[in-house]
Structure 1
Amino acid sequence: MSCRNIGFILLFSLAFASVGNGQGRYKLWYTKPAANWNEALPLGNGHLGAMVFGGVAEERLQLNESTIWAGGPNNTVDSLAAKYITQVRTLLKEKKYKEAQQLANQHLGPKGNSGMPYQIAGNLKIAFPGQDEVSDYYRDLDISNATATVSYSSGGVNYKREYFTSFTNNVLMVRLSADKPGKISCRISLESPLKQSLKVSKNQIELSGKGSDHENQHGQVKFSVISRVKNTGGNLSADSTGIRISDADTAVLYLAIGSNFVNYKDLSADGQKRAIASLDAAEKQNFSQLQAMHKGFYKRFFDRVSLQLGDTKSTELPTDARIKNFQNGDDPQLAELYFQFGRYLLISSSQPGSQPANLQGIWNGDLKGAWDSKYTVNINTEMNYWPSEVTQLTELGTPLFQMIKDLSVTGRESATKMYGARGWMLHHNTDIWRITGIVDGAFWGLWPTANAWLCQHLWEHYLFTGNEKFLRDYYPLMRDAARYFTDVLQEEPDHHWLVVSPSVSPEHEYQNTGGEAVSVTAGATMDNQLVFGLFSSVIEAAKVLHTDQAFADTLIKFRSRLPPMQIGRYGQLQEWLEDWDSTTDHHRHVSHLYGLFPANQISPFAQPELFAAAKQSLIYRGDVSTGWSMAWKINLWARLLDGEHAYKLIKDQISPAENNPMKAGGTYPNMFDAHPPFQIDGNFGCTSGISEMLLQSHDGDIYLLPALPAAWGKAGSVSGLMARGGFRINMKWQNQKITQLQVYSTLGGNCRLRVNQKLFSKLVKTAKDENANPFYKVAAVPRALNHTQQSVSTLHLPETWLYDLSTQKGKLYTVIP
């Protein structure tokens, strides 16, 4: 994207934003230091992460770097698995489900390891003698410019600390200052559980470390953490453990981390040289210059989207108090802050050239974090990137796309050796080494469909951006994922449908008798939806690129033999090929609703029976769950056009994690999502859900305000949300009706709008027939098998009007003045 276009976007968005975007609107702030990790504040630039605790007597900045993982290059492919997979398939065909599970449990487990953990780099500690008693304490994270501050008074002196992780220079910066000269005295040290050596000179501390051994894998990631100090006034001195600053006017700390990681199979870099190069370049600029460059870079992303949901007196309270009050209070701006906080976290944990955001983004305070802080690709990794396209952070998907490219290489081994197939595949979990074998055992790990879900992100990127070069580059990955399924789909005996076997409906079971749980199955609904979506996108991509017509024809034939979705005896969308669902099942995974969101296979207008069945399933599952699950449900209720229920779940999500009666879900004081413990996908999922409440573009048109709750409906605005086909939308509304509407077309073409009100603009005309815009083509979904013949006459949909707006590339259209 050119600088000219970026400038236009910013002017476009800022000109439309409501008045009142005042100082502090996007600050998380507190009146005391962090008592634990879930109160510390996150900074990051995609590569380098820090958690700021803000302690008075001692500051702790917990450090991460995106490539510090345990172990080293390896894959987890089991070359002996093929014969057992064949045997499990046979047992499933014979409906010997327990026997299939027993065989899978015995022979289809992890090979060598279940993946390596993402690890803490260490801690930068700054001890301040004589500052135990303070007043006027204040700590914040300003997500409008990605900086943090701490301030307080002690002994008649006002102290201030400023922090940021530079996007432009890849260093952590800290400035210590006071309103009186000679008052900065402190001791600086580095520590790490991965430390191998520590070297200290007058103004530099260097810690060398190495990733740990784990599950038969030798730690091979070597890294260096180097911190330098510059003081104005006063003195510096050093000993073997750290640096002392005495009586300085100000002090500035520069910190860089470098590792030997190049890619998943190459550890030939020199981490020390990398860190020194970053520091040398940064030291050519002073703190203010680096901060200005950092803010400028960050705001290019953050300022693209503005959201205004209203202000109340609640905004005057500290953030932790607002979280406690949100469920029962009146604080629409906190939902707005949570939305933007998700965007902040994605900008800060995923940048071109970095690793993708993992289960904790880039922030992990342990040697072995929860679930190893890996990439769980049966929902969680994908959820991390749900906001990237719609909230105009499209470039930030680059690390995910690179990981998919890596997996398309490592996944050929698992496809060939385990399944005897062409193409590539992986199971439900991977790590920095791009493993593709079974992780955590057959009960959860025997899920071979992650390639289809990951490829959806490639196709969605094309649908939002129209970038044909990108599609041409990544089409081979999509094609080879589809080719894998043409080789492995099995004919089931009752209807002769083609199904994925063996597999699971992620992390769920359909039988549990006598304490013996069964998860392994054939033809799980989610698998059917994923393969249908993958085949459909590859068919369309081949058409766009004028290639592989014969293969596309083959996929059309295979797609026609996939199982249709089924409506079970309770009026629910079946999760499995058989009607095994239970009305008392409140499992956190709602995998069979993938077709509703994030896919586009269940439409209120084209498939009302499926739409009603999906709603019934979601009602049975209930609301209370783990944090990421509630976030998924926000998106699902938005797709069900029920803004009140989606908002109810937002209130459940933004409630104190420690007070949740189910001991699950909620939000920590630092606004991190609680699984528990912390998982970042809930933050990203909620941001996506709020977007879906305001704009949807998956069902052949752009639906404006499809699920706006009454709490936000009195007055509000949003600018900069993206719709498929490259349309950028700005809206204002009052009393649930749009009062201003602008559409900027980046690609041109027909813009079909669905609204809950009549439009009288001369620019639009009443829509007829199918949308001619190719980015809005929706694959024809087979009619569901309804085993209840349940009527959908009770399904009440809002009245809407469809209009077409003819657009040209690069032009702005004001539809409603």
Structure 2
Amino acid sequence: MKIIKYKRVAGFLFFMLFAIQLNAQKLILKYDKPASNWNEALPIGNGRLGAMIFGNPQKEELQLNEETIWAGEPGNNVPKNTFGNIEAIRKLIFDKKYKEAQDLSNETFPRQAPKDLNYGMPYQTAGSVWFDFPEHEKFSNYKRDLDIENAVTSVSYKVNGISYKREILASFSDDVIIVKLTADKKKSISFSITSTSPQVLNSVKTSENRLIFAGTSGSTDNKIGRINYVGQVGCILKGGTLTVKADKLFIDKADEVVIRIALATNFKNYKELSENPFQKSEAVLEKASQKNYATAYQNHVSAYQKYFNRVSLNLGDSPQSKKTTDVRIKEFNASYDPQLVALYFQFGRYLLVSSSQPGNQPANLQGIWNHKLSPPWDSKYTVNINTEMNYWPAETTNLSEMHQPLFSMLKDLAVTGQESAKEMYHARGWNLHHNTDLWRITGIVDGGFYGMWPMGGAWLTQHLWQHYLYTGDTAFLKEYYPVMKGAAQFYLDVLQEEPEKKWLVVSPSISPENTYQGGVGVSAGTTMDNQLVFDVFNNIINACKVLETDRNFADSVAVALKRLPPMQIGQHSQLQEWLHDWDKLNDKHRHISHLYGLFPSGQLSPLRTPELVEAAKNTLISRGDVSTGWSMGWKVNWWARLLDGNKAFKLIKDQLRPAPMESKGESGGTYPNLFDAHPPFQIDGNFGCTAGISEMLLQSYDGVVHLLPALPDEWEKGNVAGLKAQGGFEIGEMKWDKGKIISVTIKSNLGGNLRLRSHSKLKGKGLTFAKGENPNSFFKIPDIQNPIISAKAKLIGIKSPKVFEYDIKMEKGGSCTFYAEE
């Protein structure tokens, strides 16, 4: 095939292109009243520090978080002397004594943590900093917004004819919270500053014109809270005076005030608490205070936009965009508002940039935003779906660097997880179950029903391989190969031969949080487990080839891989969830774990495995649409993979309904501040929907880069730029009209064969119709066994859309443009 040379786009012009596209539609959440509760407050963050801003003119609250303020202390939670019972549970399962197996699992791992163990520590708030303006009770001309193009929130209003404004940001460049207060009349800014905290051990004092607040994290179960934190608040005034009284700062008749808040803890790593939080916070504050606000603002925006400006999305506009965000959410299902979808998509990217910076902790169940000491589900890392979902947008929406904190945590878990692998399973390598926390616990959490799932490492390590597929970074792959190998070693050792078909299966385990009979979920060879082990084994075999290492180990993995169970289609024409045909027709469970193979994995494909895809579709229809927010976010991705854009968009509409006020339930929805609701708030639904919107516009699995695979009718016209595909390919810009591509520019960061799949015919220099398997190794298709189909199943077949596939050989650093045939 002829190699085509392409012109490089100058960096400046490329940046300006994105700037023009982003500015075409302002990405702003806006409101005409203060937040009345936490779910109306606006989030800011720089990866390490987070704050929720309420915008009350009279009494402003900045509710603060620092990523390492967790209850408890270093230590794992691996129980002793449980291997014998795990062996007994296996035997009971294979003897089909399922109730007895569940009872023994519950007895071995009780629902309430034993006195000598814990079930994970909660992520906690540092408290709040308050600005009290006693004379600002009556106000007018109120505006409040969050500008996610610049990562700045602002509040403006009038009191007695004077216009006041607050700008608040979590600085990416200076690592402090910065607040700028201005008024259009001199000597008009008078207020006090103090701090409060729900932590039992906390203090507030003043020293040398600074407010200093400190505390210690909580004690939970048998763990003593040992995270110590110190916050320091400094003010720089233009005009006016600053006075100090006990636990408050008083500013009187200033023209302008810039406030900086530094916050640090004693956390060094998951096993060592040796930092000095006072010295750390003081050093950060003093350094940040050397810059004037204009410089600090510009440095912050530049550091943030380095990531955020990589992707633009325009789905059209409507008069709805002029309304406040809360009203738009209320009216979304009845009104045409494509810009709200684009805003919601970009809000997910904003949250990921703001909660997961390189060198920091991964985004937890609430990102970094939590106002409680005992938040829902402890705001931990729940790794049977939620933590993984947080990072689904990382590669596809061009935020690869945001993945780094998750990778760093995996290195830690590959160490702590050796204890659970050895002690509980007598296995090599490492594993963890369905939860972990700051201390990198790897034992069972929440007892022998919810927690008997030794697959956390299997799922998390998929992110390592995906990062390699998108970046082609062999140095990264070499660095993390031991983590991947340790996960594979664990499953080589724990796989059990089931007695009927002699397949190798994981036992005991569960299909996350679901049951197949009353109160019984523990089983062997669940479909999700089989799919996960299939990916772990394929990934390590392919990694060995890339790195030219460990051939003997790869061979032993390949032998075990061939003995994994095939997927099965059950009596209801569904994709079976368990090894046996136990699925219930009326099951509406929020977890549909056995569809992992459809997404995020790429084991199923409408064009390659139509029977399995039809069964997966039947399962989705049976489970229903409305569920928890994260579940609906996952469903958007599934329907996108099923190439049904209208159905995927229907799930987005379900998610963009106003969330109910109750704090519990499984109704999903979106809060006025665009946060996802389980309810209550969980951030994974935001990330899941952002990834889903990306999947509707671009997919890269199944051996191809698929353009506009699941475009809904309502997105008739639009354009997108910056999305990434496997193999180092990136969309320079893609335009469409009347549901069909007008033009698409694709850049290549690695070179190699680009195979395009499109629903429209394309033309362009160097395009040829594709033949055979894609020779690009980043697009290798896994060998999927033919499914076992129940005699009772009634498959009618699925209608696959007509597609066109093309190949073009690309050079590293090159770009090319294709157009629709007229």
| Pairwise TM-score range, normalised by the shorter structure | over 0.9
Counterpart of 2:44? 43
Residues 210 and 175 of structure 1, relative CA distance in 2, 3 Å threshold: same
Residues 20 and 541 of structure 1, relative CA distance in 2, 3 Å threshold: closer
CA distance in 2, matches of 1:724, 1:147: 32
Q: Given the alignment, which residue of 790, 800, 805 partners 2:803? A: 800
Q: Given the alignment, which residue of 745, 750, 773 partners 1:742? A: 745
Q: Given the alignment, which residue of 615, 619, 633 partners 1:613? A: 615
Whether 2:715 is the aligned partner of 1:709: answer no
Whether 2:700 is the aligned partner of 1:697: answer yes
| C-alpha distance after superposition, 1:248-279 (max 9, x if no partner) | 10111110101010110010011111111110
Q: Percent identity?
A: 54
Counterpart of 2:4? none
Whether 2:450 is the aligned partner of 1:449: answer no
CA distance in 2, matches of 1:564, 1:753: 30
Q: Given the alignment, which residue of 121, 127, 134 partners 1:129? A: 134
Whether 2:344 is the aligned partner of 1:338: answer yes
Give 2:264's aligned amino acid. G
Is 109-118 or 765-774 further displaced after alignment?
A: 109-118
Give 2:109's aligned amino acid. L
1:172-251 aligned at under 5 Å gives the runs 172-194=177-199, 195-201=201-207, 203-251=209-257
Counterpart of 1:268? 274
- Provide the secondary structure at the position in 1 that maps to 2:350: helix
Contact residue 68 and residue 267 of structure 2 kept, 8 A:
yes
Contact residue 6 and residue 300 of structure 1 kept, 8 A:
no
CA distance in 1, matches of 2:724, 2:497: 41
TM-score (norm 1): 0.97
CA RMSD of aligned residues (A): 1.6
Contact residue 17 and residue 717 of structure 1 kept, 8 A:
no
Give 1:54's aligned amino acid. G
Deviation of 1:6 (Å) = 13
| C-alpha distance after superposition, 1:221-261 (max 9, x if no partner) | 11101101111111111111201100110111110101010
Contact residue 570 and residue 792 of structure 2 kept, 8 A:
no
Give 1:124's aligned amino acid. V
CA distance in 1, matches of 2:20, 2:334: 26
Give 1:321's aligned amino acid. V
Counterpart of 1:297? 303
CA distance in 2, matches of 1:7, 1:282: 36
Residues 728 and 775 of structure 1, relative CA distance in 2, 3 Å threshold: same
Residues 481 and 762 of structure 1, relative CA distance in 2, 3 Å threshold: same
Deviation of 1:20 (Å) = 7.9
Residues 150 and 747 of structure 1, relative CA distance in 2, 3 Å threshold: same
| C-alpha distance after superposition, 1:103-149 (max 9, x if no partner) | 00001244511100000011010000111111100000000010000
| C-alpha distance after superposition, 1:176-210 (max 9, x if no partner) | 11000000000100111224332203520111211
| C-alpha distance after superposition, 1:588-625 (max 9, x if no partner) | 00100000000011111111110100000000000010
Give 1:47's aligned amino acid. R
Counterpart of 2:415? 409
CA distance in 1, matches of 2:160, 2:649: 47
Q: Given the alignment, which residue of 555, 558, 573 partners 2:557? A: 555
Contact residue 523 and residue 576 of structure 1 kept, 8 A:
yes
Contact residue 666 and residue 678 of structure 2 kept, 8 A:
no
Whether 2:363 is the aligned partner of 1:363: answer no
CA distance in 2, matches of 1:436, 1:405: 13
Counterpart of 2:754? 751
Give 1:31's aligned amino acid. D
1:249-398 aligned at under 5 Å gives the runs 249-398=255-404
Q: Given the alignment, which residue of 143, 150, 162 partners 1:145? A: 150
Counterpart of 1:688? 691
Give 2:28's aligned amino acid. K
Counterpart of 1:678? 681
Counterpart of 1:58? 59
Counterpart of 1:585? 587
Counterpart of 1:68? 69
CA distance in 2, matches of 1:495, 1:481: 25
Counterpart of 2:3? none
Give 1:143's aligned amino acid. I
CA distance in 1, matches of 2:22, 2:392: 28
- Provide the secondary structure at the position in 2 that maps to 1:657: coil
Give 1:15's aligned amino acid. L
Contact residue 8 and residue 814 of structure 2 kept, 8 A:
no
Is 109-118 or 320-329 further displaced after alignment?
A: 109-118
Counterpart of 1:718? 720
Give 2:289's aligned amino acid. E
| C-alpha distance after superposition, 1:426-471 (max 9, x if no partner) | 0000000000000000110010011110110000000000000000
CA distance in 1, matches of 2:10, 2:410: 32
- Provide the secondary structure at the position in 2 that maps to 1:91: helix
CA distance in 2, matches of 1:411, 1:9: 44
CA distance in 2, matches of 1:57, 1:508: 48
Residues 398 and 354 of structure 1, relative CA distance in 2, 3 Å threshold: same
Contact residue 528 and residue 563 of structure 1 kept, 8 A:
yes
Counterpart of 2:641? 639
Counterpart of 2:768? 765
Contact residue 8 and residue 815 of structure 2 kept, 8 A:
no
CA distance in 1, matches of 2:120, 2:453: 16
1:469-484 aligned at under 5 Å gives the runs 469-484=475-490
Deviation of 1:19 (Å) = 5.7
Contact residue 202 and residue 237 of structure 1 kept, 8 A:
no
CA distance in 1, matches of 2:666, 2:810: 51
1:14-53 aligned at under 5 Å gives the runs 14-15=16-17, 21-22=23-24, 25-53=26-54
Deviation of 1:475 (Å) = 0.8
| C-alpha distance after superposition, 1:650-677 (max 9, x if no partner) | 0000110027997620000000000000
| C-alpha distance after superposition, 1:709-743 (max 9, x if no partner) | 00002x10000000000000120000111111101
CA distance in 2, matches of 1:601, 1:816: 31
Counterpart of 2:627? 625
Q: Given the alignment, which residue of 654, 657, 668 partners 1:655? A: 657
Counterpart of 1:89? 90
CA distance in 1, matches of 2:761, 2:718: 19
Q: Number of aligned residue pairs: give it.
A: 807
Residues 20 and 348 of structure 1, relative CA distance in 2, 3 Å threshold: closer
Residues 247 and 54 of structure 1, relative CA distance in 2, 3 Å threshold: same
Residues 8 and 597 of structure 1, relative CA distance in 2, 3 Å threshold: farther
Q: Given the alignment, which residue of 155, 171, 190 partners 2:176? A: 171
Give 1:431's aligned amino acid. D
Deviation of 1:315 (Å) = 0.3
Counterpart of 2:492? 486
Contact residue 113 and residue 215 of structure 1 kept, 8 A:
yes
CA distance in 2, matches of 1:292, 1:7: 26
Contact residue 17 and residue 718 of structure 1 kept, 8 A:
no
Residues 662 and 378 of structure 1, relative CA distance in 2, 3 Å threshold: closer
Contact residue 522 and residue 577 of structure 1 kept, 8 A:
yes
CA distance in 2, matches of 1:662, 1:460: 33
Give 2:106's aligned amino acid. N
Residues 19 and 467 of structure 1, relative CA distance in 2, 3 Å threshold: closer
Counterpart of 1:564? 566
Give 1:657's aligned amino acid. A
Residues 647 and 73 of structure 1, relative CA distance in 2, 3 Å threshold: same
Residues 600 and 146 of structure 1, relative CA distance in 2, 3 Å threshold: same
Deviation of 1:789 (Å) = 7.1
